[in-house]
């Protein structure tokens, strides 16, 4: 992979997946906040670069999906430094945007079918979680079963995006 921007996108997606999951699993609120902040920055950079890449290729829906994902991630970053309870409004808005973004990137045939299926499952789970929060359900970013069970599908989608980028560069 010779394109440095694709390398940055791959690193951002990998950091986002790894540190996002780490932040979900740790109990220390400071480590969680730092993990999620780095995760968000990596994903914002990666998805902004991917939006430009797919726009240049003429895949407008996929490009829009990555742009919407970047916006959703930025909304969520705004609540990361607070407590879990105080982050809920930005989290609900962010995962609503993630849901739309995942559908925009998963419906077109830009990625392998397994990636698209993982993205659609994650989109449905995050949409349902967001709607529940907007309807006053007492959920946080680490509540179980939702949104907790949605994160592995999101990370699987990131892995598929990485595979797509690497294959596209080969």
Query: What are the tens digits of pLDDT across the range 51-64?
Result: 999 999 999 999 99
Contact 155, 119 (CB under 8 A): no
Class of residue 118 by CB neighbours under 10 A (exposed 0-12, middle 13-18, buried 19+): buried
The pLDDT of residue 25: 96
Mean pLDDT of all residues in 89-101: 98
Q: How many CA atoms within 13 Å lie on the side-chain side of 39? A: 26
What mean pLDDT, rounded, does the chain reach?
97
Residue-wise pLDDT tens digits, 132-160:
999 999 999 999 999 999 999 999 999 99
The tens digit of pLDDT for each residue in 36-85 reads 999 999 999 999 999 999 999 999 999 999 999 999 999 999 999 999 99
Average pLDDT over residues 84-89: 96
3-class secondary structure for 95-155? HHHHHHHHHHHHCCCCCCHHHHHHHHHHHHHHHHHHHHHHCCCCCCCCCCCCCHHHHHHHH
Cβ neighbors of 23 (< 8 A, separation 6 or more) are: 31, 32, 33, 35, 36, 39
């Amino acid at each position: 992979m010779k394109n440095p921007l694709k390398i940055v996108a791959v690193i951002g997606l990998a950091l986002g997946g790894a540190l996002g999951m780490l932040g979900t699993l740790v109990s220390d609120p400071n480590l969680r906040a730092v993990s999620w902040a780095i995760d968000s920055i990596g994903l914002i950079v990666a998805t902004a670069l991917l939006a430009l890449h797919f726009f240049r290729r003429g895949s407008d829906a996929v490009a829009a999906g990555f742009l919407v994902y970047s916006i959703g991630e930025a909304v969520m970053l705004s609540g990361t430094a607070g407590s879990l309870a105080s982050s809920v409004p930005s989290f609900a808005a962010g995962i609503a945007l993630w849901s739309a973004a995942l559908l925009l990137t998963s419906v077109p045939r830009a990625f392998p079918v397994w990636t698209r299926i993982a993205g659609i499952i994650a989109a449905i789970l995050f949409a349902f979680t967001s709607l529940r929060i907007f309807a006053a359900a007492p959920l946080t970013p680490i509540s179980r079963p939702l949104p907790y069970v949605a994160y592995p599908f999101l990370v699987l989608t990131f892995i598929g995006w990485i595979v797509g980028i690497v294959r596209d560069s080969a």
